[in-house]
Amino acid sequence: QVQLVESGGGLVQPGGSLRLSCATSGFSLDSYAIGWFRQAPGKEREGVSCIDNHDMTTYYKNSVSGRFTISRDNAKNTVYLQMNSLKPEDTAVYYCAAGPYFSRFELQEYDYWGQGTQVTVSS
């Protein structure tokens, strides 16, 4: 059974930090690219960051570049998203997803999805 489980979300003040984790099971993480996506109420799901499974190439949505960092620990079957300097517009449910190729933010290329974790940035 393939599973991706996000954790680490919560309520944080503007300028604060959170680290999201995506724990995976049921497949070989080192054979899959991983993407982080987010969806705010009433809006479409959008790509945030992704990381390749071969050469660790990373890609970021322009508005989070320099603030967010994606990383992976294949030995622990876990992917992380470090989020610094958070802004109210970062408020959303954050999802991790796995796909067989490094497809950046093409949602149809991701085969497996987690259930999401809520991130709320507010004073």
Residue 56 CB contacts under 8 Å (≥ 6 apart), including other chains:
72
Q: pLDDT 10s per residue in the chain (123 long)? A: 999 999 999 999 999 999 999 999 999 988 999 999 999 999 999 999 999 988 889 999 999 999 999 999 989 999 999 999 999 999 999 999 999 988 899 999 999 999 999 999 999
pLDDT of residue 34: 96
Nearest to 55 by CA among 36, 28, 33: 33
Answer whether 82's CB lies under 8 Å from 26's CB: no
β-pair partners for 58: 51
pLDDT of res. 55: 85
Q: Per DSSP, which regions of 2-115 are E strands? A: 3-7, 10-12, 18-25, 33-39, 46-51, 58-60, 68-73, 78-83, 92-99, 112-113
3-state secondary structure 30-53: HHCEEEEEEECCCCCCEEEEEECC
Per-residue model confidence (pLDDT) at position 4: 97
Closest CA to 51 of 67, 30, 29, 34: 34
Asked whether the beta carbons of 29 and 22 are under 8 A apart, the reply is no
pLDDT for position 54: 86
